[in-house]
Amino acid sequence: MFTDKIELKDFDKMDPEYKELLGRVLTIQADCEIGGPHLYIEKMLPAAPTKLDQLIVARTAAEEIDHFRKVARLAGDMGTDVTFVLSQPNEKRFVDAFRGLITTWEDNAVFGFLIDRIGRYQLEEFYDCSYLPLQRILPDIVTEELGHIEYGYNKTLELLSKGDQQRERVQKAIDYWYVRALDMFGRSGSTRAERYRYWGLKRRSNEQAREDYIKEVNPILESMGLKIPDPLKGRRYI
Amino acid sequence: MPQAAPNTEKLDEHLQEVVRALRGAVKQGVSHSNDAKTVDNAIEDCREILDVIMAGNVSEWLN
């Protein structure tokens, strides 16, 4: 296991596999950060239920753009250009969950509650990682992601209080996003994930992170009176 | 030191400005929530800024 801590000045001396994996993980992270606003801005900024919600949608997008900026800066300083993700169509996003468009407020709320939580999980993988510039940008980003999760949770609760028909719509959104959330962790037993761990770029295996997520989210869903979807139905990465 | 990718610093500075403008517009709207016209203007400002970012014409931003 690689246990050193690396600064930008050390990057050129690193093993090619380290450089490749760090460049790859930062590119995917940048794509996910900007992929969120690309999912919800078009339909949700004009359609949010109140003007305050419209402003919060805009603020959330501003924070995600800022996260993109920070990750793009790290990657760019290493010589990895991630600017192509700013203009690529949603269908080409690295992660399935970002390939589409959010068109309902239920989906927007549940996206914050379930998918921004995955964002937090992915960022937590970098805690105490071997690349120090990456460690340094984490605290502010994670704090903002926690705000997005809480907003999504509160909006989901608000929708659930509006009667059976609304509850069904929320459950439908949960059914859709839950399996996509589980898929976002990647395949169990992934050899690439093991290499990330070897180089100190991630802490957990894909299956361990997924298991931790399930243990955290399922009790919350139950406490909200929602059904836990079949964790295998519709999954692409088991 | 590794060679930075082209426009790394320029893009960083541009996006910092964008984020600052967006946060400013949101703050203006939220802090004047009783003034419908100010709120509408703030939302419109956010929409205009976000439309440009979502279009993703990076070369236009940096020129």
User: Nearest chain B Cα to A36, which residue?
Assistant: B54
Closest approach of B59 to chain A, Cα-based (Å): 10
pLDDT, residue A152, reads 98
Q: State whether B53 and A37 contact (CB < 8 Å).
A: yes
Cα–Cα distance measured from residue A102 to residue A157, given in angstroms and rounded to the nearest whole number:
19
Give residue-wise pLDDT tens across range A116-151: 999 999 999 999 999 999 999 999 999 999 999 999
- Interface check for B57 against chain A (CB to CB < 8 A): the answer is yes
Cα–Cα distance measured from residue B18 to residue B49, given in angstroms and rounded to the nearest whole number:
7
Are B46 and B25 in contact, with CB atoms under 8 Å apart? yes
- Chain A interface, best mutation among B10, B23, B30, B50, by max A CB count within 10 A: B50
pLDDT band at A238 (very low <50, low <70, confident <90, very high): confident
Q: State whether B2 and A79 contact (CB < 8 Å).
A: yes
Residue A57 backbone phi and psi in degrees, to 5: -60, -45
Overall average pLDDT of the A76-86 stretch: 98
Cα–Cα distance measured from residue A226 to residue A171, given in angstroms and rounded to the nearest whole number:
7
State both tokens at A106.
Answer: 């239920």
Give residue-wise pLDDT tens across range A184-233: 999 999 999 999 999 999 999 999 999 999 999 999 999 999 999 999 99
Domain ranges of chain A: 8-223
CATH topology of domain A8-223: Ferritin (1.20.1260)
The closest alpha carbon to A184, from A51, A79, A35, A60, belongs to A35
**Single pTM value for the model:** 0.97
Closest approach of A218 to chain B, Cα-based (Å): 34
Q: Which residues of chain B are within 8 Å of residue A98 when distances are taken between CB atoms?
A: none
ipTM computed for the complex: 0.98
Q: State whether B11 and A62 contact (CB < 8 Å).
A: no
pLDDT band at A4 (very low <50, low <70, confident <90, very high): very high
Cα–Cα distance measured from residue A44 to residue A15, given in angstroms and rounded to the nearest whole number:
44
Q: Which residues of chain B are within 8 Å of residue A69 when distances are taken between CB atoms?
A: 11-12, 15-16, 19
User: Nearest chain B Cα to A19, which residue?
Assistant: B2
Q: Look over chain A and give the mean of its residue pLDDT values, rounded to a whole number.
A: 97
Q: Look over chain B and give the mean of its residue pLDDT values, rounded to a whole number.
A: 96
Q: State whether A62 and B33 contact (CB < 8 Å).
A: no
Give residue-wise pLDDT tens across range B7-28: 999 999 999 999 999 999 999 9
Q: State whether B18 and A65 contact (CB < 8 Å).
A: yes
DSSP symbols for B18-38: HHHHHHHHHHHHHHTTT-HHH
Furthest-apart CA pair in chain A: how many Å? 60
